[in-house]
Amino acid sequence: MGRDIQHQGDPKIAMLEVSWSNAVFWVYTLYLFTIPFKVPNTLSSLMLLILVIPAMKGLAGIKRRGRDPLEAGVLLFSGIVLLSTITSVDPTLTLKYFKKDILIGLILFFSTLYLTKPENTIHIYRTLLLSFLLAMIWGINIYDSPGGRLAGVIGHSTRYGKFLDLVLPIAISGFFVEKIPWLLLPLATFFLGTYSLVRTMTRGAWVGVSFATLTLFISAKRWYMFLTFGIAIVLILPFVPSKGQLLHRVASVVEVNKTLKTDPSLLKRLQFYKTGIDLIKERPVLGWGYGRKIPRKIKKKLGHGWFLKRKLKPFTHHCHDSYMELALETGIMGLMAFLFFLGAFFYDGIRVYRKASPSELQLIALGIMAGILALMIHGFVTDVFQKPFISYMFILSAILYSMERSLGDQGS
C-alpha cells in the first residue's frame, strides 16, 4: 500500500525502503482509525512521530507539485494562527492549542498528501467508514445525562452532532461506490448514524446534514434517494426514547420565527454574538489569540466591569459561531485565511467532480465535500474548531487534493 520506490543501488535496500513505506502507510491507517477514540497519549504521539517523516516528504514536494490554492490556503491559515500569538491574551495557551490542533493538522495534511494514491483511496475511505461505525457502536449508550441526549464516544451531544455532520454524507457516498459485501459498511454506518443523529437532538446538525446530503444527492443526479432519510427515520423511531422531547426539538426547527424569539439557547447565543462583535473591534487584525480557552482568559483580563459597562454578556465557553470565534481569536486576517482555505477546498472538490465523471473518485469527493459542508453550516451556531473535527478537516482536504492531483497527472 505504500508509495512506489525505485532504487538504482542494492535491491535489498530498495526492498527495505518499500517495506518501510508500507509500514508507515499502515501506521497512518491506524492513526486514521483511532481518531474518534480515546487512545493513550504515548501511542498517539508515537504514531504522529512516525508520520512526521511522510509529512516532511509531502511538504518537500511543494515545488514539484506547483502552486495550488488549497495547499496555499492550509499554510496561510496555519501561519496566521501562529501569528496570533503576538497579540494573544495568553501566548502560552495559544502556542499550546497551535501544537494540539494546527501542527498535528499539518502533519496529517502533508502525510495524507504523500501517502494517498488512486489505488489506495478506497482503502482510506473504508478505514474512515469502519472507524465511524465502530465509534457509533461504542457510543450507542453514552448520554450526556440519564435519559438525556446521546453524547456518544465524543462525550457531548452537540460535539457528537458535529461528528455526525461528517459521518453521514461520507457514508451516503458509499451507496454509489460500493457493492456487496462492502456496501453493507456504508449502509450500517448510515442507519446507525441517522439513529445517533436523531438521538443527539442537535438542531444545527439536523439542518447541516439535511442540506448537505440533499446537495449530495442532487449533485450525484440521484435526488430521489433523499427519501432514504425518511425511510431510515421511520424505521428507527420505534427505538427512540423521549419522543416528547424529540418532537419539541423538531417543532423548534420548523417554527423558526417563534424559536428565534423564545428559545433560551438561541437568545443567549444572540447575546454572545453582540459580545463577540465588540471584542473583535478591540483587536481586529490578529485577534485575542487562538485557543478554546481564550474567551475565559479575555473575561479574566478585562474584568466583569468591562462587560457590564457595555451591557454585554461574557462567554461561558465560546461565542457559538465558528466564524465569529475565529475572527475573535485570530482577527479578520485569520477568518479571511480560513475562508480562502475553505474556498480552495471546494474549488478542488468541484474540479475532481468534473474531471472524474463518472467514477468512484467523483462520488467519494462528493461525500467529502458534503461532509465538510454540513459541518460548516452547523458552524454558524457552534464552534467546530475542536478536536477531532480540525484533524478531519486537514485529512479530508488532503484526500481531495490528492484526487485532484492524480486526475491532473492522468490528463497530462
**Which of the pair, 77 or 260, is modelled with greater confidence?**
77
Per residue in 272-328, pLDDT tens? Answer: 889 899 999 999 999 999 998 888 888 889 988 888 888 888 877 778 899 999 999
Strand partners for 150:
143
Asked if pLDDT for residue 357 goes beyond 80, the answer is no
What's the rounded Cα separation, in Å, for the pair 310 and 364? 49
Domain range list for the chain: 25-56+68-411
Is the per-residue pLDDT at 207 higher than 70? yes
- pLDDT score at 293: 86
Q: Is the pLDDT of residue 246 over 60?
A: yes
Could you please report the per-residue DSSP string of 41-74?
A: HHHHHHHHHHHHHHHHHHHHTHHHH---HHHHHH
DSSP 143: B
Asked if 189 contacts 132 with a C-beta cutoff of 8 angstroms, the reply is yes
Calpha distance 215→320 (Å, rounded):
25
Average pLDDT over residues 366-393: 94
Using the structure block, give the residue that is written with the C-alpha cell 509531502.
58
Alpha-carbon gap, residue 343 to 20, rounded angstroms: 36
Is residue 211 predicted with pLDDT exceeding 50?
A: yes
Residue pair 84/290 in contact (Cβ under 8 Å)? The answer is: yes
pLDDT, position 244: 66
Least confident of 112-121, 185-194, 222-231: 222-231
Q: Is the pLDDT confidence value at 36 over 90?
A: yes
- pLDDT (tens digit per residue) in 41-90: 999 999 999 999 999 999 988 777 767 899 999 999 999 999 999 999 99
The predicted pLDDT at position 2 comes to 44
Q: How many angstroms separate the CA atoms of 259 and 381, rounded?
A: 14
Sign of CA dihedral 147, 150, 156, 161: negative
Cell matching residue 143? 448520554
| From 125-129, 344-348, 404-408, the region with the lowest mean pLDDT | 404-408
Q: What is the 3-state secondary structure (H, E, C) of 162-219?
A: HHHHHHHHHHHHHHHHCCCCCCHHHHHHHHHHHHHHHHHCCHHHHHHHHHHHHHHHHH
Its sign, for the CA torsion 397, 382, 39, 44, is positive
Share of the chain above pLDDT 70, in %: 92
Q: What is the pLDDT of residues 139-173, one digit of tens each?
A: 988 888 766 789 999 988 999 999 999 999 999 99
Q: How many percent of the chain have pLDDT more than 90?
A: 56
> Which pLDDT belongs to residue 12?
67
The predicted structure's pLDDT at residue 96:
95
Share the mean pLDDT of the chain. Answer: 87
pLDDT at 260 over 70: no
pLDDT at 9 over 60: no
* Cβ density class 107-125: b for 16+ within 10 Å, e for less: bbbbbbbbbbbbebbbebb
Does the pLDDT of residue 379 top 80, yes or no? yes
Cross-strand pairs, 143? 150
Q: Vertex 397, ends 20 and 287: CA angle to 5°?
A: 115
Is it the case that residue 4 has pLDDT exceeding 50? no
What does the pLDDT look like over 105-139, one tens digit per residue? 999 999 999 999 888 899 999 999 999 999 999 99
Q: Alpha helix (H) ranges present in 66-183?
A: 69-83, 91-97, 104-115, 121-138, 157-177
Residues 6+ apart with CB under 8 A from 281: none
Query: Could you read off the pLDDT of 166-185 as tens digits, one per residue?
Result: 999 999 999 888 899 999 99
Residues 6+ apart with CB under 8 A from 238: none
